[in-house]
Amino acid sequence: MKPDRDAPVGVFDSGVGGLTVAREIMRNLPSEKIVYFGDTARVPYGNKSKENVIRYSRQIIHFLLEQRVKAIVIACNTASAFALDEVRDEFDIPILGVIEPGARVAAQETKNKKVGVIGTEGTIGSGIHASYLKRLNPEITVIGKACPLFVPLVEEGWLHDPVTVEVVARYLQEFKDKEVDTLILGCTHYPLLRSTIGEFMGDSVRLVNPAYETALELGALLKKENLLSPGKEQEEFPYRFYVSDLADKFKAFANSILPYDVEMTKKIDIEKY
Ligand code: DGL
């Protein structure tokens, strides 16, 4: 059965970070309803094996299908890197990740053909950005670096703290030395560090936010599949949030970054799926 246009979009992540993607969908596709799942019991994914991240992703997709979503966005960069190619053809609805949209824009934007990518150990270790970018333009040199301290700093709310400014400088100096002109913020949390990273890298370096590019790509995909929502005016709760642990902590973070107050988050047993 083809999902109806009124159905919500499913968005999932290892935890709270994917809210940066949900936020862009809310801003750019305001008629779309969202069912968000944050795997707060098993976060982080960034240092887990590929096998586990694929297993988690499949379970979450089964849960989202039960919520009758019409399309799924894998908001987590690590899950997109490890699981998208594995699961995309297993299910009957469109599934989109965050890696390709970011890589495509980076390939268009770079002038000197030196692109930097930052992300989790899993994402960078997968080499997936390099393979997309090289496919788009073999002349592009890709420099990747895992920045594992960024996630806890963001979750601590230290977006402009002197400690964070120092950590940004330590991680990113290499990109300055290698003169990249484009840097992909390849992890859900990094768009929240955009101004701190931008101040360090300077105006000449283009920062690519995959969350934003993915929201645009989702819009194009829904249009192509004739799945764009006709409107959500009548809906009392257009956005629903589910987690696998600690719903209150999730809610506090969500309220700090979303443009509206999250009333309710429901905890579910994801191992059941
Ligand atoms: N959501 C993850 C990502 O975008 C970051 C947090 C984690 O390691 O789970 O890769």
pLDDT tens-digit readout, 31-49: 999 999 999 999 999 999 9
Distance (angstroms) between ligand 1 centre and the Cα of 231 equals 31
Look at residue 70 in the predicted model and tell me its pLDDT. Answer: 97
Q: Choose the residue to mutate in 21, 77, 244 for probing ligand 1, maximizing ligand atoms within 8 Å of C-beta.
A: 77
Which pLDDT score, from 0 to 100, does residue 155 have? 92
Mutation probe of ligand 1 site: the residue of 24, 49, 78 with most atoms within 8 A of C-beta: 78
Annotated catalytic residue: which of 140, 185, 187, 205?
A: 187
Q: What is the pLDDT of residue 249?
A: 87
Is residue 76 annotated as a catalytic residue, yes or no? yes
Catalytic residue among 53, 76, 115, 254: 76
* Longest Cα–Cα distance in the chain: 54
Residue 14 CB–ligand 1 contact under 6 Å = yes
Nearest C-alpha neighbor of 213 from the set 135, 145, 271, 129: 129
pLDDT of residue 139: 98
Distance from residue 46's CA to the centre of ligand 1 (Å): 5
Question: Does 147 participate in catalysis according to the annotation?
Answer: no
Residue 32's pLDDT is: 95
- Give the integer Cα–Cα distance in Å for 148 and 189: 11
Separation between Cα atoms, residue 106 and residue 245, nearest integer Å:
35
pTM of the entire predicted model: 0.96
Q: Which residue, by CA, sits nearest to atom 7 of ligand 1?
A: 44
pLDDT means over runs of 10, the chain (273 residues): 84 97 96 96 97 98 97 98 96 97 97 98 98 97 98 95 98 98 98 97 98 98 95 75 93 90 91 96
Instruction: Output the 3-class SS for the chain.
Output: CCCCCCCCEEEEECCCCCHHHHHHHHHHCCCCCEEEEECCCCCCCCCCCHHHHHHHHHHHHHHHHHCCCCEEEECCHHHHHHHHHHHCCCCCCCEEECHHHHHHHHHHHCCCCEEEEEECHHHHHHCHHHHHHHHHCCCCEEEEEECCCHHHHHHCCCCCCHHHHHHHHHHHHHHHHCCCCEEEECCCCHHHHHHHHHHHHCCCCEEECHHHHHHHHHHHHHHHCCCCCCCCCCCCCCEEEEECCCHHHHHHHHHHHCCCCCCCEEECCHHHC
